[in-house]
Structure formats: C-alpha cells, structure tokens
A and B are shown apart, each in its own frame.
Chain A
C-alpha cells in the first residue's frame, strides 16, 4: 500500500510539474476573435503556421523559390527563412532580423511578427495576462513606412523622407555628425525599393525610433522642412561650416575662378588592402597603376599642366574621396587608371570608360523628387526644385559629352601610338567617376589576366609608353577646348 501511495505521489508531482513547464517554455498563448491557440516556440521564436491559421490567413511554401507566402485580407507577404529581405505587398523591405527555418515552416520573434506580419495585415499585438491578443487596426508605436528619395543637385543633396502617414518628427545632428530624424511615436521602416546614390550621403538606416543618416565628411543639414499632403520630411544637405579649429594653418580654399594652368587629377586605382587584379606572377594592379600614374604626372607637368595624384603611395583611399579631391580643386579633368582582367585569358588591349548615369534610374529619382515636391502647389520649394532639376540635368549632360570626348581622345592615342588592339570606349556607371563635375574617364591600360600582356605591363619602358599615350590624349582634349 505504501508503495502504491509513493508511486501515486511521484506521478502526481511529475504531471503537476510537466504541464505548466511546457506551457511557459514551449508555447505562447494567442487570442484572436474569441479563439485561442498555444503557438509552439522554436528557438525563442514563434512559429507562424498556427498564427496564420488562427487569423484565418493562408500560408503557402514555394519550394522552388524558397519563399513562404502569407496571405490575409488582400495583403501578401513573402518571407525567406534566414534572410532579412522580404516583400510586403510587392515592396522590398529589409527587416531588423532574420526569420528562422522551423520544423513546420518559419519562426519569427514577437517584434518581427508585430512589424512585418501583423501590421501589414492591419492587425496588432496586445499583451494580456494569459499571453497576447491579436486585435484589428494599427497599434500605438506601429511601424511607419518611410520612402527615402534622394538626389544630388550640384553641391547639395535633397533628401525627401516620404511618410505613409502623418507622424511627429524632429531632426538633430549628433556629436559624430550623423543626422538623426526622430519619430518618437513610431518605429520607422525603410522602403528599400527606391535605390539612391549621393555623393553627400554614405548610408541611411532605420533604428528603433529614428532614421540615421550618415553624411560624407563636412556635410550637414542646411535646411529642414516638415511638409504635409503628402506627409514628408525634406532635408537639404550640403557643406556646413566646420567647427573652428585651434590650428590656424588651414589650407586656403581654391579661388572660385582659379588662375593658372589647368589641373589634371590622376587617380591610381585601388591601393592598400585593395590590391585590384593580380597577375600570374602576383603583380598587383595597385602597384602598376601607381607606377604609371607617377610617369603620367611627370609627363603632364612637362607639358605645363598642374597635376595632383589621389594617392602617392600604397594606401587605401575611399572611392568617393578620389573624385571629391578633383571637385575641390576645380580640376579640368579627372583620369582614373586601372589594369584589367577577364575570365577569358586571351583578351588583351586597352579600353577607356566614361560615366553612364543609367538615365532611366536618374530620371526616376529626379521624377520622384519632382512628384513629391510638386504635390504641394505653391509651396516655396516647388518652383526652385524644378529649376534645379533642369540645371542639374543640363550640367550633367554637358559633363557627360565632354567625358565621352576625353575618353575617345585617350583611347585613340593608346591605339595609334602603341598599336595595341582597340577595345573602344564604353559607358557604364562607375563608382569612382560618380559625382565628377568635370570631364572624367577611367582607363584600363591592359589585361593582367593575359600572361603575355602582364609581362609587358611589368616593363618600365612599356609603362612609359602608356603614360606618353595617355598624356597625349589628355593634351589633345584640353587643347581642343
């Protein structure tokens, strides 16, 4: 009898301990319209399948695409496990975290569930004593979708943060010079479907209650406007007066209309840990570009030009800093030197590139700004930005035409003086040519992937010939202006 009592006691204790334990650690209670489920947890996340079943939504997996499609009330969310990117009603978003692959589909955190699943469905989570209730409508602190639209106009950049709904916002600059747009009552979410490229903005990212904009050195907020219909924050960024430095010896700014010989800025490609292409014997592109650049600089100085190199030794230089130097010096031209390589080992010869704006993308960015700005008729920036757009477009077109002429002049000299194979002049959106306000070209002097040409490129005399040819092309171009 005693044994039976003991066994019974043990059994009771086990069942009493086990059932609550699994409720606390393994599942979470969710309620929706009077129904309740215990959603199983997976690695501290909630599995989505029971949640979708609870709200009456659909969840389908496409094995070929590796994507879970969640449908509810005419909304569609596509999630890839282990990926931050997701599509919400066709808009590409980047979440703060990745969903995990779970035994029955995909598991997400409560925050992800709230921001990227329930909010797009017009639902929100509410904490209740037994767990969470899913309610209709947006909650306080609901995610605010922000569509950043950015375009450079000369030296300044206009950034429009178009908001999906009205939101309280403030703008401040922290001690690192980063610009913080605070949304105290919302959690911002950036729409990444519109790409941007700006010489004044290095990055933009959404934080908990703010959007952080990292500007280039010396760039800050010139003006800020909070506009309505449509709701948006408009920031104008540009050069701001630097904090007075105790060191009196600051280099004087170049005169607006500088006198003296034209300045040619030569950019030896790559440098530092960025070796660029490697030859069969380990010769690095960064060494060759620096060697040819020094020879080219010497030849150009003999021709009477003022020359500046973006680097004079093996060191890393940000791509944006290279053309920024040319802009700051008001250089006449900017030439970036590179050495080529190809998966096809037999390819040899020189080729010259100039910038492509990828007109469709540029037009789309400019059009977006115009659309948002023109939405408010009579507002003070509407007419100004329209004029800015036209002037900016005209200036860019002129620079591009001149860049094409510069590239052609250099390529012709490389062809005729060296008798090397003409690989022609091509147009593509190159990072190092982005933002140049003067004619600019990128010269690939030969192929390191071709063993014969690589050996030729190593020779001092061949490098001197290349420098002569490029210098002659530059003189042809500058002499014809």
Chain B
C-alpha cells in the first residue's frame, strides 16, 4: 500500500514537471510566445498626403526629363526616399523611358546624420554599357531624391556593397550631389 502511494505521488510529480516543461520551457513555445505589446507595436505612420513629386526619367534626347506625379510623400526622410525610388523603379507613365536598363529592386535605404541618403539597389547581372545609360540611372535616382527632399547627397550601393563604379564610368564610391547637366530643358 505504502509502495503504491509512493508510486502515485512520484507519477504525479513527473507529470506536473512534464506539463510545466511543455508550457514554459519548450523552445518552440518560447519562440511562438507573443511579444509584449510595447515590443512589437508598429510605429504610427505619419499621414502622407499626396504631393506633386518630380520624377526623372530618360527622354528621347538621352537626357533626364521630369514627370510630375501626385504621390503620398511621407515626412520621414528615409520613407520618402523609399517611395521616390519605388516610383522610379515602376517606370514612367507617359512618353518617357525608364532609367533602369534591368529589373532592379530596392534593397534598403539609410539616411545618416549628415543629410546623406544611402540607397541600396540590387546589382545588374551585366554592367550597363555607355556613359549615358549609367549617368541616367545614377543621376536619375540621385537628382530625383535631391529635388524632392532636403537631403544634400546620395550614394548608391549595389547588393549592400559600395562599388567603385557600375559600368566603369561614374565614381560611385562616395555620395553624389545634384547634377543638373543631365536634366534636359
């Protein structure tokens, strides 16, 4: 009788221990456990009313030309850069020509304390040839961002890396400032 009682007690202890392990210590349970609200709460996005943005695409003369478009431009500078670059990646809606000779993706945007944006794009499989193609891509992005924000310079990164140049023409190892030489009349 005494032995049976001891066995029942032991079994109970083991079962309670096992249940506790299942509930609290099992790694999957920890990972799936919802985070506290203050940790996962999304930042309240600043309302972005549609504004007139100047987007630069290539014209039939090989220079950059503006396409004016009403798009919501967030107040946050990195978000605003992201919206602008996405609009450039989507391409023009009118008579102009895309500035990207390949299907590029925006990988990331950083804005530093010196008012410089770092725009990380997916790299092309093969370097686009020709100064005009490269200048249109680079200054299409750089000038569009600088014309629509209070940022001072933009550096393009490709695949998360700083590159000396995209096709052996423009220096891309530093941030570039506004260059109106490539914007047509």
Q: Which residues of B contact A4 (CB under 8 A)?
A: 7
Q: Which residues of B contact A344 (CB under 8 A)?
A: 58-62, 97
Contacts A15-B17, A104-B31, A428-B179 given; indicate if A8 touches B112 (C-beta within 8 A): no
Q: Which residues of A contact B179 (CB under 8 A)?
A: 356, 427-428
CB of A439 within 8 Å of the partner chain: no
Tell whether, in the assembled complex, residue A429 and residue B79 are in contact, meaning their CB atoms are under 8 Å apart: no
Which one, B27, B107, B112, B116, contacts A83 given CB within 8 A?
B107
Which one, A26, A361, A447, contacts B132 given CB within 8 A?
A447
Q: Which residues of A contact B136 (CB under 8 A)?
A: 342-343
Residue of B nearest to A269 (CB): B168
Shortest beta-carbon distance from B120 to chain A in Å:
7
Shortest beta-carbon distance from A340 to chain B in Å:
4
Complex: A466 Cα to B172 Cα, angstroms = 30
Tell whether, in the assembled complex, residue B176 and residue A448 are in contact, meaning their CB atoms are under 8 Å apart: no
Tell whether, in the assembled complex, residue B60 and residue A18 are in contact, meaning their CB atoms are under 8 Å apart: no
Shortest beta-carbon distance from A393 to chain B in Å:
18
Which residues of chain B (46-92) have a CB below 8 Å from chain A?
A: 58-62, 78-79, 82
Tell whether, in the assembled complex, residue B130 and residue A427 are in contact, meaning their CB atoms are under 8 Å apart: no
Complex: A92 Cα to B30 Cα, angstroms = 33
Complex: A78 Cα to B27 Cα, angstroms = 27
Shortest beta-carbon distance from A11 to chain B in Å:
5
Which one, B10, B17, B60, B128, contacts A347 given CB within 8 A?
B60
Shortest beta-carbon distance from B62 to chain A in Å:
4
Q: For this complex, into which size category does the number of interface residues on chain B fall?
A: 35 or more
Shortest beta-carbon distance from A399 to chain B in Å:
16
Shortest beta-carbon distance from B5 to chain A in Å:
13
Shortest beta-carbon distance from B14 to chain A in Å:
5
CB of A408 within 8 Å of the partner chain: no
CB of A430 within 8 Å of the partner chain: yes
Complex: A179 Cα to B14 Cα, angstroms = 64
Residues of A contacting B: mostly? mixed
Complex: A106 Cα to B175 Cα, angstroms = 29
Q: Which residues of A contact B98 (CB under 8 A)?
A: 343
Shortest beta-carbon distance from B68 to chain A in Å:
19
Q: Which residues of A contact B153 (CB under 8 A)?
A: 360-361
Residue of B nearest to A194 (CB): B114
> Interface 1/0s, chain B 156-185, versus A by CB < 8 A?
010010101101111101111101011000
Residue of B nearest to A82 (CB): B160
Tell whether, in the assembled complex, residue A197 and residue B171 are in contact, meaning their CB atoms are under 8 Å apart: yes
**Closest 4 interchain pairs by CB?**
A277-B129, A341-B130, A195-B174, A347-B62
**What are 7 A-B interface contacts by the 8 Å CB criterion?**
A11-B11, A27-B27, A64-B79, A69-B43, A342-B62, A356-B179, A444-B130
Residues of B at the A interface (CB closer than 8 Å) are: 7, 10-11, 14, 17-18, 21, 25-27, 30-32, 35-36, 38-43, 45, 58-62, 78-79, 82, 97-101, 107-110, 112-114, 116, 118, 120, 127-133, 135-136, 139, 152-153, 155, 157, 160, 162, 164-165, 167-171, 173-177, 179, 181-182
